[in-house]
Amino acid sequence: MRQEIGVAVVGTGFMGKAHALAYRAVPNVFPNSLKPRLVAVADVTEAGARQAAEQFGFERVTDDWRSLLDDPNVEVVSITTPCSMHREMALAAIAARKHVHCEKPIAPSASDAYEMMKAAEAANVVTQVGYNYIKNPILKLAQEMIASGELGEITSFRGIHAEDYMADPEIPHGWRVDPQNGAGALAEIGNHIVGMSRFLLGPITQVNAQLETVNKTRPVAPGSPERREVKVDDIARLMVTFERGCSGSLEANWAATGRKMQLEFEVYGTKGALFFSQERFNELQYFKVGDDPRTSGFARIEAGPAHPPYENFTVAGGHQLGFNDLKTIEMAEFLAAIEHRTPTFPDFREAWEIQQVVDAAIRSSTEGQRIRL
């Protein structure tokens, strides 16, 4: 029988549910994986935790997340709470010698992220951070094509993550715009395009950024005439330089009217180019220099069994993966790293590197100058 591993999830919102779904799916999609046992779930209210337990099959519930750390049956802790709570929870879980999966952003600041990373490495526990979009098989192909030189020398990168869920100025002031969680759009969704650019092209060495607050006040409660000042960004624009020598632009915007999931990049090289959009994330567009000029242009590469682990989900191209499938791949790789004591990516160290870029962008915008990392 497959070996079981006990899992606890802290938080039952969107990401908490995504974690529970992924843990349940892993042993069916990846039959040689460890089998997650959903031991416990914690939420701010016991009623919320109980609802999640009934839906996903957790064995017990609690409104005290610390009690999970005393349970010898819990070997893995998934943290899916607001960012301001990550440091305390992760450090406590690490001290209890639990392996830790933490949602992004890992922490409000690079200094907090560094402390979490050093604690995890000292305790020799396995960590993972929820940058699930880079688990897409078609993006692994893009990374391989860049690394192998199929695009030639990379000359530039352009990336954006834009959504509209904070576009309405009447959305109440809440934890998303609380500076205790760090930056606004840059921290919450911008770190996805920062992380994706690093995944494809490697480290970023310089940042020149402009952060902008569009909705400068928000009501303190739904329909309230009283408003509170917003002190985080709605839009962040970064000019960056990569260690490999090329430059690029990155944008984060959570007030992009009409956009639901515009996580996109274009990468240009001397021999070709790639274009990707999360809104059509089973496709990669590829241009190759030197093709017949009569028929040249971007060609569509469709995800299929030739792009592992796509075939674990479906045996035919064109049938397409979904968001929760990417989360399942993420959890399978995390559990494999725990079982075999192999490196996992992105771990707390990579999340710290990403947070350094975010912090540098904030400082650059405040000081009006380019920042070297």
Could you report the per-residue pLDDT of 142-194, keeping only the tens digit for each?
A: 999 999 999 999 999 999 999 999 999 999 999 999 998 888 999 999 999 99
Domain end marker among 132, 148, 176:
132
pLDDT at 291: 84
pLDDT score recorded for residue 251: 98
Closest CA to 9 of 72, 47, 60: 60
Q: Are residues 90 and 172 in the same domain?
A: no
As for how many domains the chain has, the answer is 2
Tell me: do 139 and 128 sit in the same domain: no
Tens digit of each residue's pLDDT (9 = 90 or more) over 178-235: 998 888 999 999 999 999 999 999 999 999 999 999 999 999 999 999 999 999 999 9
Residue ending a domain, among 106, 132, 158, is 132
Range of the domain at 125: 4-132
Whole-angstrom distance, CA of residue 75 vs CA of residue 5: 6
Q: Could you tell me if 16 and 114 lie in one domain?
A: yes
Q: Are residues 99 and 167 in the same domain?
A: no
Asked if residue 330 and residue 221 are part of one domain, the reply reads: yes
What is the pLDDT at residue 338? 97
Residue 108 shares a structural domain with residue 156: no
Same domain, 120 and 233: no
Instruction: Supply the pLDDT for residue 183.
Output: 85
Last residue of a domain, one of 69, 99, 132: 132
CB contact at 8 A, 272 and 288: yes
Mention every residue, 6+ apart, whose C-beta is less than 8 A from residue 243: 202, 203, 204, 205
10-residue mean pLDDT series, the chain (373 residues): 90 97 97 96 96 97 96 98 96 98 96 98 98 98 98 98 98 94 92 98 98 97 96 97 98 98 98 98 97 90 97 95 98 97 96 98 97 97
- Tokens 């391989």, located at residue: 144
* Whether 128 contacts 347, CB under 8 Å: yes
Q: Are residues 63 and 148 in the same domain?
A: no
61 and 145 assigned to the same domain: no
354 lies in the same domain as 225: yes
**7-38: b (≥16 Cβ within 10 Å) or e:** bbbbbbeebbbbbbbbbbbbbebbeebbebbb
User: Tell me, what DSSP letter sits at residue 164?
Assistant: -
**Do 323 and 365 share a domain, yes or no?**
yes
pLDDT of residue 1: 52
Angle at 95 between CA 352 and CA 179, to 5 degrees: 45
What is the bridge-based pairing of β-strands 60-62 and 35-42? parallel
Q: What CATH number did the domain enclosing 21 receive?
A: 3.40.50.720
Predicted structure pTM score: 0.95
141 and 103 in a common domain? no
